[in-house]
Structure 1
C-alpha cells in the first residue's frame, strides 16, 4: 500500500496473484506491462476526479482496471460522473496511438508493441462492458439518471450487473464441460458477482447519501434556473416511496391530492427530505407533514 497526496493506492489480491503467477511462469515483462497500463488507466480516473474537486480516498488496482473509492458518487452533476468514468478508457486510446507510432519508429520492437496494443484493447473494451463496478456500468448508470429516478437507476444497474456477472460465470462453467475452462474468466465473473452483491446490500446507504446531499444540489439547480418537475401523489402515499421518485438533475414540487382529486398541499422536496431524515418512520404518509 502506498499513500500519496492523501490518496491510498493498493493492489487488489487478484492483481497480486496475477503478478506472482506471471513471475513464477516467466512472464514478468508482460505482467509489468499490464501493471503499467492498469496504473495509467486508473490515474486517468483519479486525475479527472481531482480536477473536478473530488476527494479520492483510495485506489484499488485490479488486473483489468481499478476502483477509485470516492464520496461524490450520486451527489454531483451527472456530467461530472460521466467525465470521471470515461477518463479511464480514454487513456487506452492515446496509448494505442502512441504504440502505432512506435511500431513505425522502432520496428525492432514490433512484437512487444503488438502485445501492448492487444492488452490495451482488451482492458479498454472489457471496462466498457455495462457491468458495475466497470466503467461501462458507471456510464450506463449515469445515462439512466438523465431520464429516470436516482433510486431506480441504482436498482436497475445493480440487478443488470448481477445478471451479467452470473452469465459470465455460466459461460466459464460451460467451458469447463467443454474441457476448455477459462479460469481467468471464472475468477473475474465471481469477483463481479460478489462486488455487485455487496453493492446491492449497500443500496440503502447510497440512497441515504443521495438524500443528505439534496439540499445543496437543489440550491445549485435553482440558481441555474432549472424548472421544477412536479410529482403528483395521493395523501396516503408513503414518504419513502415518494423520495424514490427524485431525479438527480431535477428538483421537485410534490402535489398532494385528496380522495376527491383536489390539491390539498404543495410541498417542496426538501420538506419531505427533512421530514424523512428528522426521524419520520419509512411508512409515514405524506399527509403527516402538513396535517
Structure 2
C-alpha cells in the first residue's frame, strides 16, 4: 500500500468511513498551489472540503447508513453509501446532501466570530469566507453529482420515478457545466480570465457524462434495494400499461417511498389483470427485463 493510500485509509477511519479517496485533480491543485507559494490556501481548501464531506458522512451514519468511501473533489466530494440504499428514501437522501453545504455555512459563521474577536486576520477571514461560500453555493447547484442534484432527485423521484429523476439531474448538470465553461471562455476574451470556473465546468461535465452513462446500472441497484427493503406502511401508487409494454418500461417509473400496483390493459383498453410491485421486480431479477408485461399474466395462470 502506498503512502497516499495509507493516508487516505487513516483519514477515512478518523471520519468513521472506509476510506477517503483524493481525486488526482484535487491533488494537482494542491501541489500547484504549494509550488505557487499558496500553501496556506491549499491547506485551507483541503480542510474545508474535508469538513464538507464530514458533514455528509456523519449525517449518513446517524441515519444508519454505512459510508464505504468519501471522494474529495475540487468542488467538494462524493460520499459512497453501501449498497446504494440512500436513494430509496428521498427524505434521507436530501438530509445527507444538505449536510455538506450546511457545514460550510457553519464555518462561515465560525470565521465571522473568530474575526470579530481578532483571532484571525482580515486576509485569512476573507479567504475562509470565499472558499466556504464557493464550496457551499457551487454544491447546491441542481445537478448530479452535486449536492443540489441529489436534492433535486429526491424532490422529483416520487413524481416521475427514480431513473427519470436521475437522468433529469444529470442533464441539468451537463447544462450547468456548459454554462460554466462558456462563462469562463467569455471571461477570458474580456480580459478577466477565470481558470477555476473553466476547470470546474470541465470536471462537472465529465463526471455528469460518466454518471449519465451508468444510470441503468444505478437503476438496477435501486430496484434491488427496493425489492429487499422491508415493507412498512407506504403510500400506494398505481400505473396502467398496455399488456405489450416491456417490463423495463414499467419498472423505470417506480419511485421510492411508494408501493406500486400495475393495471395491465388489453388492446381494447380494458383491464385484464393487476400485478403487484414485488411480482414485477422478481421478474426483472430473473432476467426478464425485455419481456412484455403479458408474460407475467401467463405466469399467474
TM over 0.5: yes
3-state SS of 2:84 partner: coil
1:52: which partner in 2? 63
3-state SS of 1:147 partner: helix
User: Could you tell which deviates more after superposition, 189-198 or 139-148?
Assistant: 139-148
The answer to whether the 8 Å contact 1:75/1:209 transfers is no
User: Could you tell which deviates more after superposition, 177-186 or 249-258?
Assistant: 177-186
Deviations 1:16-64 (A, max 9, x none): 1121121112111121111111111110011111122212121111232
Say which of 268, 277, 295 aligns to 1:288.
Answer: 295
1:118: which partner in 2? 130
The answer to whether the 8 Å contact 1:54/1:72 transfers is no
3-state SS of 1:290 partner: helix
3-state SS of 1:278 partner: coil
Deviation at 1:6, TM superposition (A): 5.2
The correspondence of residues 137-148 of structure 1 with structure 2, limited to 5 A, is: 137-148=149-160
User: Could you tell which deviates more after superposition, 53-62 or 82-91?
Assistant: 53-62
The correspondence of residues 182-221 of structure 1 with structure 2, limited to 5 A, is: 182-217=194-229, 219-220=230-231
> Within 2, Cα distance between the matches of 1:140 and 1:227?
21
User: Could you tell which deviates more after superposition, 46-55 or 187-196?
Assistant: 46-55
3-state SS of 2:238 partner: strand
- Equivalent pairs counted in the alignment come to 286
Correspondence 1:164 to 2:171 = no
Structure 1: runs of 5 or more not aligned: none
Say which of 273, 286, 295 aligns to 1:278.
Answer: 286
Deviation at 1:261, TM superposition (A): 2.8
1:248: which partner in 2? 256
1:11: which partner in 2? 22
3-state SS of 2:49 partner: helix
Deviation at 1:154, TM superposition (A): 1.2
Deviation at 1:120, TM superposition (A): 1.3
3-state SS of 1:273 partner: helix
Correspondence 1:227 to 2:235 = yes
Deviation at 1:260, TM superposition (A): 2.8
The answer to whether the 8 Å contact 1:255/1:265 transfers is yes
> Within 2, Cα distance between the matches of 1:82 and 1:272?
28
The answer to whether the 8 Å contact 2:71/2:79 transfers is yes
Distance 1:173-1:111 versus aligned 2 partners, 3 A rule: closer
Distance 1:75-1:110 versus aligned 2 partners, 3 A rule: closer
The correspondence of residues 21-40 of structure 1 with structure 2, limited to 5 A, is: 21-40=32-51
> Within 2, Cα distance between the matches of 1:108 and 1:66?
27
Distance 1:73-1:189 versus aligned 2 partners, 3 A rule: farther
> Within 1, Cα distance between the matches of 2:195 and 2:270?
62
Distance 1:288-1:74 versus aligned 2 partners, 3 A rule: farther
3-state SS of 2:153 partner: helix
The correspondence of residues 118-137 of structure 1 with structure 2, limited to 5 A, is: 118-137=130-149
2:89: which partner in 1? 77
The answer to whether the 8 Å contact 1:129/1:137 transfers is yes
The answer to whether the 8 Å contact 2:87/2:93 transfers is no
User: Could you tell which deviates more after superposition, 6-15 or 149-158?
Assistant: 6-15
Root-mean-square deviation (Å) = 1.8
